Amino acid sequence: MKLILLGPPGAGKGTQSKRLEEALGIIQLSTGDMLRGEVASGSENGKKAKEVMDAGGLVSDEVIIEMISDRIDHDDCKAGFILDGFPRTVPQAEALDSMLSEKSLRIDDVITIEVDKEAMVRRITGRYTCSACGAGYHEDFQKPASAGVCDKCGGTDFSRRADDNEETVRNRLTAYEELTAPIINYYDDAGVLKRVDGMAEINQVTASLKEIIG
């Protein structure tokens, strides 16, 4: 099973990818997580990416396409994968099509998670993550069962993303509208796009996704 999950910042791509990863035994490939890994490692790509990400812009297509093309070749992608945050521009969508055909792979479903603009800012500014295992939470919408303790690993240290402040979020939304929204039409025109109501409760969104995936 190979999926593309599309949607603006805060739509729930990461939240739902993690759930599908567990349910379907396929791996989440988040270009945002990969880039944050590069930043943390202090690599040249990471240094360049950090500036762009902190400003809420998009990292160059060239860097991203190479990163994904290499990653898809790893053994852990053989059972399937969920593309989260990629493609994000029309050139990336076109490059993905050629890379898949070169690797004799095909995507099963392209699904966009639709959310209202105001919800995105609230979701992102309230988001935090377990520093030990990466489990995602939200101050209002997804609290751990016991306050201050991660449900998954029992960790008590949490962190927030550097780009999750209101100013950067607004820039990320502008980048989405200008550069990423056109790929919705790209997949719609190809007749492969499916839509899910991302304003529904988290479990309901997961159920809608599973219904599409079958």
Residues in touch with ligand AP5 (CB under 6 A)? 7, 9-15, 30-32, 35, 52-53, 56-59, 64, 85-86, 88, 92, 123-124, 127, 136, 138, 141-142, 163, 172, 198, 202, 205
Is 71 tagged catalytic?
no
Amino acid at 57: G
d(CA 202, CA 99): 32
Residue 53: contacted member of Mg ion, ligand AP5, none (CB under 5 to 8 Å, by partner type): ligand AP5
How buried is 119 (Cβ within 10 angstroms: 0-12 exposed, 13-18 middle, 19+ buried)?
A: middle
Residue 205: contacted member of ligand AP5, Mg ion, none (CB under 5 to 8 Å, by partner type): ligand AP5
Q: Which is nearer to ligand AP5, 64 or 110 (CB)?
A: 64
Is 161 tagged catalytic?
yes
Residue 2 DSSP label? E
Is 160 tagged catalytic?
no
Residue 112 DSSP SS3: strand
Strands (E), 54-103: 81-84
Please tell me whether residue 14 binds Mg ion under the rule CB under 5 A.
Answer: yes
Write phi, then psi, for 12 (nearest 5 degrees).
115, 15
Is 106 tagged catalytic?
no
What's the closest the beta carbon of residue 190 comes to ligand AP5, in angstroms? 19
Q: Which is nearer to ligand AP5, 81 or 86 (CB)?
A: 86
Q: Which is nearer to ligand AP5, 11 or 72 (CB)?
A: 11
Write phi, then psi, for 151 (nearest 5 degrees).
-60, -35
Helix 166-175 to helix 44-55 angle (10° resolution) is 100
Is 172 tagged catalytic?
yes
For Mg ion, the binding residues (CB under 5 A) are 14
Active-site residue numbers? Answer: 13, 88, 127, 161, 172
